[in-house]
Chains A and B, each alone.
Chain A
Amino acid sequence: MGWLEKLRMRLRALRHGEEVHGEIAEEWQFHIDLRTEENIRRGMTPEEARQSAEQHFGNAGYIKDVSWDVRGGGIMETLWQDVRFGARQLRRSPGFTFVALLSLGLGIGGNAVIFSLISTILLRPLPISHPEQVFAIHQGKEKDASYSQSMSYPNYKDIRDRNAVLSGMAVYRFDPMSLSHNGSNERVWGYLVSGNYFDVLGVQAFLGRTFTVDEDRTPNSRPVAVLSYGCWQRRFGGAPGIVGSSIQINGHSFTAIGVAPPGFTGTESVFTPEFWVPSMMQEWIEAGSGLEGRGNGQWLPFGRLKPGINLEQARAQLNTVARQLGQEYPKTDEGMSLRLTPPGLVDPNLRSAVIAFSGALMLTVLLVLLIACTNLASLLLARATQRRKEIAVRMAIGATRARLAWQLLTESVMLSVTGAAFGLAIGQALILVARASLPRTDFALTLDLRMDWRVVSFVVALAVVTGISFGLVPALQASRSDVVFALKEDTSGGQRRAWLRGALVVMQVALSFVLLITAGLTVRSLEHTEALGPGFDPNNAVTMSVDLGLQGYDEKRGENFYQQLAERVRVLPGVKSAGWIARLPLALDVSTTDVYPEGQAEPRAEEMPSAIYESVSPAYFATMGIPIVAGRDFAGSDIARSPGVVIVNETLAQRFWPSQNAIGKRLHSGNTDVLEVVGVVRNGKYQSLGEIPALMVYYPLTQVYATSAALVIRTSVDPGAEISSVRSEVQKLDPQLPIYDAKTLKEHMRLALFPLHAGAMVAGSFALLAMVLAAIGIYGVMAYSVGQRTHEIGIRMALGARASDVWKMVLKQGVIITAIGMVFGLVCAIGLSGVVASMLYGVSATDPLTFLFITLLLSAVALAACNIPARRATKVDPVIAIRSL
């Protein structure tokens, strides 16, 4: 019999037990009847014949038991009995069940959310065929540790054609584009991709078709686009006639040739493009061409491994090609080295940061779950003590220890599985909250958190493991009880269990202390960062961006536009000043350039200082509230024909010309001529609030032109109201020009603060959760202890103890447990301070204020939790307590 047949047989016995019993009985009756007939033939009386037949058959009861073991429900029958019994037991003590389920649900819910984050970013494979064969190709230098997914078009073509390990290699590039639809222009994000992009990924069009390689051979020849499913649904109402119709991108007509399948949003795990356009159309999409120039690494390559080629073989062979290129084109490609990493997160540093961050989160929620499970174990222990008599009776009538332990374990697994169901519901709710609280960005970022099968199986596995591991000790404890002593109400076993429960609570207090400290430090770090500020004044200012490149402006027209709009806006009522910057600080990324002071030999590549650069207009610094500490602001006279000038920040001035006046000094920057420093401005934050002070170089927008820029407007009144009047000024200058990213500077700051806010919120809520769970734990232990000591308290009171004495006595017990827990927690928190310090900014990992505050908070909560049972103890009526003895 195969296992499946066996299972079917067991299930049949379980569901149709009567029928199976009937079959067995019928078979045996037949046997006895035949034997009786035989006996009669041999000359016995019918009476004798039947008796003899039954005698020969043996002990029918025993045989029936043995048969049922073989043919009946077996282990499943036992399990089913236990489940029904357990459900009855849990229903009978709803308070216990509720607290256990709540603790578990909260603990498991937190785990579900964090795991879904990890699943979304790191685990969920791309919805493409054989995603495990697809790898992002990262380029770097042999000697340099910094790799990034970038490559020039000529190098891409050579590596694609020369390698023998990839079945296909494609490149792509994110680009903002202006989409005209229903008379309005909107700036959206799309991909420029090589013609084989969809083929290499193995993605079929949902509607129409994807690109052919021929469509991506000649620059500016085939204006075609593939829409994402979301774009087609949202912007074109899912109209089936979209294929073959014309859409307007950057004022050019593109033919929509197909729609990508739902769920496919390119290769980045958090980015959703609106459409894909062939790479050869780059000039129509953005100014300048990235198709030429071997040093122009602006494309993001990926490849699919040939079947049978492993990662190591592929890496080795690709690097052989890279070395060939290095010999052929030493100027750009010398020392080029390639790596393969799973796709999804552009920057390898980002990847490791995400792994570290989610690892820390996972650890936190597992700790919270541990605290929740401690409550569960503690409750189970208490129940085991209450049920000592029931268990003893069952043992006395012959239940084995293993059978009892098995039964208690079934109960705890039932609890944890139900808790997991609660947890999934709580997790789903938390995910909805998290989705709603993600900041809006100009960039098409999405974090598609979902309860996928990975999350569900993780949660179920977690539930079973916790159910077994935290049910095991109480189950073994309970089944070890001595029948005779238990029936006689012996309490020594109870005392041992009380000790174990106390130890569990100590652990809970210690763990929640550590979590609270971490959360407290994170909040302090956030406060500090906010207090320190971004280096500009985010109050009473608005910003909005335009992308002139998308509208085909040349440099001269663009400069005119920037100047005219600034002048028109400055005279608007309520506007104090206005200025342009190519890209706002604390946006998602920055551009950097090589810099070194004049009069110094050009440093070698490894030692070349790197500065962040931006182009700004006159009055930008005044508008942002960035003080100019020396020299002057840019002026209308700094134009293309006049000598090149820069303004630098204090850090750069300090580094290049320590204790000298930087004004009038000159520096080399990128490929430009030597530039003269005309001003020094106060340091600020450019990429993130937590960054270490960076070197910063500002160019005049009139000398280093930018095709897109943000206008910053300082207002004296409500900044939000200013947006519409500025918008109408733009309309007057160019009715076609889309405005994007209009917001107050404070709103802009939210993006920069988001990681800190999110970190503080997550750490804070988990720490609070841990504290609540610990409070439940303390309360449970104290309430139980008071219940156990009712007689003793009654006697004390009869002998003259006052209510306040009893109250103090009970409270003292709770205070001791809490104090021990907090000492352990303190030791752990100090031990962990090295790890925690790396995540903090501007606050010490052993910040005394935080430690003091958390100690007081936890003490207060613990006292409150002890107070309820202590009050109850004072209400003990000595007469009743002693009489019930």
Chain B
Amino acid sequence: MGKQKPELPQGTLDMLVLKALSLGQMHGYGVGQRIGQLAEDMLKVEEGTLYPALYRIEQRGWIKSEWGVSENNRRARYYKLTRAGRKQLGVEEAKWSHLSMAVGKVLRTV
């Protein structure tokens, strides 16, 4: 057993999905890959849990989906950030940096 990867805190997956999709439209697998690359494989994401998250985010109107054709010529469902989603990503990023800064401060001072 290697070094344990930290689990994602509750509610941050949505933000990561939005971030991944801000780089352009992508299918579910690609979203997982992108998060993995961006986190340099430091995070543990159970890949299946991406899908309920995608469906939930779509219902909130932050992303849109449609069937398309993948690089290897297969039918795949592609997700795309909406205008509302881009705005939401900004909000989440600001919130997150504020939170991590505050937590970091607390941890450093004691």
Chain A interface residues (CB < 8 Å from chain B)? 1-2, 6, 9, 23-24, 26-28, 30-31, 33-35, 56-60, 63, 66-67, 69-71
Contacts and interface: CB of A to CB of B under 8 A. Distances in A.
A70 B70 contact: no
A31 B61 CA distance: 23
| Interface SS majority for chain B | helix
A58 B29 contact: no
A27 B47 contact: no
A78 to B, nearest CB: 18
B28 to A, nearest CB: 6
B29 A34 contact: yes
A26 B27 CA distance: 12
A598 to B, nearest CB: 91
Contacts of B58: 1
Contacts of B27: 27, 30-31
B61 A71 contact: no
Contact of B55 (A2, A26, A33, A71): A71
Interface in B24-43: 27-29, 32
A60 B60 contact: no
Contact of B47 (A6, A24, A26, A31): A31
- Name the 8 nearest CB pairs between A and B, nearest first: A58-B48, A58-B46, A57-B48, A63-B48, A70-B55, A66-B52, A31-B29, A34-B29
Nearest to A30: B76
B74 interface: yes
A54 to B, nearest CB: 9
Contacts of B97: none
Given A57-B48, A70-B56, 19 more contacts: A2-B61, A26-B75, A27-B27, A27-B51, A27-B77, A30-B74, A30-B76, A31-B27, A31-B32, A31-B47, A33-B74, A34-B29, A35-B47, A56-B46, A56-B47, A57-B46, A57-B47, A70-B55, A71-B55
Contact of B52 (A6, A23, A26, A63): A63
Contact of A30 (B49, B55, B60, B70): B70
B4 interface: no
Q: Which of A2, A24, A34 is packed against the most chain B CB atoms within 10 Å?
A: A34
B41 to A, nearest CB: 12
Contacts of A31: 27-29, 32, 47
B69 to A, nearest CB: 11
Nearest to A69: B52
A1 B65 CA distance: 12
B100 interface: no
Contacts of A67: 51-52, 55
**B interface bracket (residues with beta carbon within 8 Å of A):** 20 to 34
A669 to B, nearest CB: 83
B59 interface: yes
A58 B76 CA distance: 20
Contact of B48 (A26, A28, A70): A28
A202 B62 CA distance: 51
- B32, B47, B77, most chain A CB atoms within 10 A: B47
Tell me whether chain A's interface is mostly helix, strand or loop, or mixed: helix
A733 B55 CA distance: 93
Nearest to B27: A30
6 contacts: A27-B51, A30-B75, A30-B76, A31-B28, A31-B32, A58-B47
Given A30-B76, A35-B29, A58-B46, A24 B51 contact: yes
A668 to B, nearest CB: 85
Nearest to A59: B48
Nearest to A63: B48
Given A26-B75, A34-B29, A57-B48, A1 B55 contact: no
Interface in B61-79: 61, 70, 72, 74-77
Nearest to A60: B48
Given A26-B75, A30-B29, A56-B47, A70 B61 contact: no
A332 to B, nearest CB: 71
Contacts of A28: 48, 51
Nearest to B67: A23
A351 B97 CA distance: 69
Contacts of A1: 58-61
A70 B59 CA distance: 8
A9 B61 CA distance: 13
A411 B4 CA distance: 52
Nearest to B77: A27
Contacts of B75: 26, 30
Contacts of B49: 58, 63
A56 B61 CA distance: 28
Contacts of A69: 52
Nearest to A62: B48
A126 to B, nearest CB: 46
A9 B58 CA distance: 11
Contacts of A70: 52, 55-56, 59
Contacts of B61: 1-2
B34 to A, nearest CB: 13
A59 B56 CA distance: 18
B44 to A, nearest CB: 10
